[in-house]
Amino acid sequence: MIGVMKNKTLATWLTWLGGPLGLHRFYLYGPRDVLAWGLPIPTALGMWGVTRVQSYGLDDVLSWWLFPIFGFSMAACCLNAIVYGLMTTAQWNAHFNPNAQEDDASGNTSWLTIWGVIIALILGATVLISSIVYSFQRYFEVQIQEAHRISIGE
């Protein structure tokens, strides 16, 4: 991908839309990027947690650990999309288009870029808060059950 201009708007949308699968990393860094190949692993583990919740219900302990992994991975990708979208044209081109001029159009911010940042902010915040709430809720429910079990002498 040497010599190919990287578009900031496309990278922003790929990051929040397909980030958990590493699509933005493949676009920006190419097929040799180790993180691009590694990102689908936590995504698959998180989706396995989702299927475990659907199959075994909320009492499945393994799903308590797996389910939030997808949320945290998605939230991290959304944060990355926000960072990409808010880079100045000069910063973008210096980092991803080093052979281009500082004010090259591929690093420009358009309304499509701004909408990508807004969606990433809303989605990322929602997914992150939901993952944290789910984790703490399950933890405290188990603690209450254990306290109840101990108090009645089982």
Q: Bigger pLDDT: 107 or 130? A: 130
The per-residue pLDDT for 60 is 78
Q: pLDDT tens digit string along 33-49?
A: 999 999 999 999 988 98
In sequence order, the 6+-apart residues with CB closer than 8 A to the CB of 137 are none
pLDDT, mean of residues 16-27: 91
Give the pLDDT of residue 3: 65
Residue 24: predicted pLDDT: 92
**CB neighbourhood size of 136 (10 A):** 11
**What is the predicted pLDDT for the residue at 13?**
94
* Residue 142: per-residue pLDDT: 80
Mean pLDDT of the chain: 87
Span 110-126, mean pLDDT?
93
Task: Go through the chain and tell me how many residues it has.
Answer: 154
- What would the pLDDT profile of 51-91 be if each residue is shown by its tens digit? 888 888 777 778 878 888 888 999 999 999 999 999 999 89
Residue appearing with tokens 């902010």: 121
pLDDT-derived band at 154, boundaries 50, 70, 90: low
The domain limits of the chain are 8-151
Nearest residue to 132 via CA among 68, 42, 43, 79: 68
